[in-house]
Structure 1
Amino acid sequence: MLFVGDLSEGDLKLVKAIQQLPLPTAVILGNHDHGRDHSGAVLRRQLTLLGDRHCGWSLRQWQFPPIAVVGARPCSAGGGFHLAKAVQAVFGPMSVSESADRIEAAAKQAPSQWPLVILAHSGPTGLGSDAQSPCGRDWKVPALDWGDQDLAMALDRIRKHRLPDLVVFGHMHHELKRGTGLRQTCVQDRFGTVFLNAACVPRRGSDSSGRQLCHFSWVEFLDGKLSQVSHRWFLPDSSLAYEQILFERATPLVTQC
């Protein structure tokens, strides 16, 4: 299970709950997670509780299932590159190129035969500059690309060694401001990497029949390859109520002679 950040405004309840989950998890903290604290104290407490579950600028991996997760810059607010004061207090000052270097270095540690997932709070630049783009600014005119420059730089560098299978992020809510529509949440670039925006806000709600629902972005791998990406809404008993398939890899046609 991957968490794309903005768990709270510095509250530790959800962090403690994640700590208790009996399954492999990886977390990247978002710009809201350090609250209004610029000293880094709140951020340090969260990082201490999460331990190696937090993968900012680092590699998290499991053998069962075999998957490598590389974290991008923690606590990003999008908009190019801005290092939050809390992040500077904990990790020290850093340039956009140095941040990209750290992401690339973590990716180089990943086993080459395993699927590579990049986990970020904000997605990279380069996915479009319209309000409905995966990282498009929708709260102010004109709309523009609000992605992270360091993540885009890191992806360019990583592609020289291998192709990331999936980049998953949040931050930019699916529903656009002022009820102007919905965001495009899944795209595949010309290299074959799939980009997934998982920021369905709020995650819990109800349908027209009054049934309570909980949203998850869902990804499946088959034989080490990304095979399906979807948004799914589950009922309280964990049964699937709705599914929106966003990406599905074509199955090669097998013929017999």
Structure 2
Amino acid sequence: MIFDSSDKRIAVVGDIHGFWTWVDTEYFSKSNYDSVIFTGDLGNNLPRNTNKIAQLISKVRKPKYIILGNHDTTSIPQLLMEITNASPNIGYLSHTFHLGRYKKLIKDLGDTNICQYNLSKIGEGLSILGARPLSMGARFNFQIFLKSVFGISSYEESEKKLLELVQGLDFQKQDLIILAHNGPSGLGNRASDIWGCDFKKEEGDFGDKDLSDFIRKLSGKGKRPKVVIAGHMHHSSRKLRVKTRIWKKKEEGILYLNPARVPRIFSDKRGNIWHHHVELTRKNGVWNAEAKYLKNGTEEIFPLPEFLEREKNRIEIKD
């Protein structure tokens, strides 16, 4: 594939949850991707695991962009408080430790660009907007932390901040990518939908209201983002009502991507090791994405096993 100066080729890595090795670091470093985007949730609950993954990511020799997930810098008690809707006041007991873990993780990520309530230019005619970090869906999460670090304490304040960040962006000259940890609401309420709930009997829409309201208001002004990237809701259903969820959806001119294939490193019945990511491209001004499965982290082998072909084709295009 031949690219002109406006074409882009970006690797998108979904929720890692401990599934990252030196093989990944070297592969992406030597690849011809322009940059690598991460949706967060680096480790598996233990801070030392998260920080180890962060250090490996920092050594990728490409421009890197990440939004922190609900498992990044938080503790198990904090997550339980969010899940059980405990009073935010209880969180003050662990806030100081949370800030310490946050600062340590930022340091371990090195030159990785942290996307969180900020707008960055990442190439010719291309900007990336970091949305609300640490989101885990259903409600406004980690209020104490977000108020302390960003001065944001509600969906409405979050939406307002995002609108302020893109106020001066020329959408005629700049394509906009939005990077979030959890996706926007309004894209389906089935377990198989891109950010649908797969762990409740009644299923439902598990997207974020502030993000969807922001996109709706932006689009109403004729300023649609080109791509929205978020993870959090894993491809494989917890209750196995669906084997894989829709991971790519195009609606009203916006490409939505959920790259959270967990685990992203896995073996098949023959013992082959596969590494998953998504290839995001802009070619002649048109954005598209394709799921990639690398055998032993080095190259994609065709034909893919049948179960991977099914995953790869779980998409929904309405345009």
* Coarse TM-score class (shorter-chain normalised): 0.7 to 0.9
- The one-letter amino acid of 1:29's match is L
Q: Which residue of 1 aligns with 2:248?
A: 186
Aligned residue among 131, 140, 165 for 1:81: 140
Q: Does 1:94 align with 2:129?
A: no
Secondary structure of the structure 2 residue equivalent to 1:194: strand
Query: Deviation of residue 222 (structure 1)?
Result: 0.7
Q: For 2:191 and 2:297, locate their aligned partners in 1 and report how far apart those are by CA, in whole Å.
A: 36
Q: What are the equivalent positions in structure 2 for 1:146-165 lying under 5 Å apart?
A: 146-159=206-219, 160-165=221-226
Q: Which residue of 2 aligns with 1:253?
A: none
Q: List alignment gaps of at least 5 residues for structure 2.
A: 1-35, 76-93
Please identify which structure carries the higher helix content. 2
- The one-letter amino acid of 1:141's match is K
Query: Deviation of residue 217 (structure 1)?
Result: 1.4
Q: Describe the shift of the 1:236–1:118 C-alpha distance in structure 2 as closer, same or farther (beyond 3 A).
A: same
Secondary structure of the structure 2 residue equivalent to 1:210: coil
Could you state the TM-score of these two structures normalised by the residue count of structure 2? 0.71
Could you state the TM-score of these two structures normalised by the residue count of structure 1? 0.86
Q: Which residue of 2 aligns with 1:7?
A: 42
Secondary structure of the structure 1 residue equivalent to 2:239: helix
Query: Deviation of residue 209 (structure 1)?
Result: 2.5
Q: Which residue of 2 aligns with 1:213?
A: 274
Secondary structure of the structure 1 residue equivalent to 2:140: coil
Q: For 2:116 and 2:135, locate their aligned partners in 1 and report how far apart those are by CA, in whole Å.
A: 11
What does the per-residue CA deviation read over 1:146-166, in whole Å, with 9 as the maximum and x for residues that have no partner? Answer: 111110111122221511111
> Contact 2:249/2:317 (CA < 8 Å) preserved in 1?
no
What does the per-residue CA deviation read over 1:158-206, in whole Å, with 9 as the maximum and x for residues that have no partner? Answer: 22151111101100010001222121111112x2101111110000012
Q: For 1:111 and 1:240, locate their aligned partners in 2 and report how far apart those are by CA, in whole Å.
A: 38
Root-mean-square deviation (CA, aligned residues, Å) is: 2.4
Aligned residue among 292, 296, 302 for 1:236: 296
Aligned residue among 166, 170, 174 for 2:235: 174
Q: Which residue of 2 aligns with 1:255?
A: none
Q: Describe the shift of the 1:54–1:92 C-alpha distance in structure 2 as closer, same or farther (beyond 3 A).
A: same
> Contact 1:80/1:146 (CA < 8 Å) preserved in 2?
no
Aligned residue pairs total 247
Secondary structure of the structure 2 residue equivalent to 1:130: coil
Q: Does 1:17 align with 2:56?
A: yes
Q: Does 1:55 align with 2:115?
A: yes
Q: List alignment gaps of at least 5 residues for structure 1.
A: 251-257
Q: What are the equivalent positions in structure 2 for 1:6-45 lying under 5 Å apart?
A: 6-8=41-43, 9=45, 10=47, 11-36=50-75, 38-39=95-96, 40-45=99-104
Query: Deviation of residue 48 (structure 1)?
Result: 4.3
Q: Describe the shift of the 1:20–1:139 C-alpha distance in structure 2 as closer, same or farther (beyond 3 A).
A: same
Query: Deviation of residue 41 (structure 1)?
Result: 1.9
Query: Deviation of residue 211 (structure 1)?
Result: 1.1
- The one-letter amino acid of 2:120's match is R
Q: Does 1:196 align with 2:235?
A: no
> Contact 1:6/1:30 (CA < 8 Å) preserved in 2?
yes
Determine which structure has greater relative contact order: mean sequence separation of CA pairs < 8 Å that are 6+ residues apart, divided by chain length: 2
- The one-letter amino acid of 1:33's match is D
Which region of structure 1 is more displaced relative to structure 2, 28-37 or 236-245?
236-245
Q: Which residue of 2 aligns with 1:223?
A: 284
Aligned residue among 177, 184, 187 for 1:124: 184
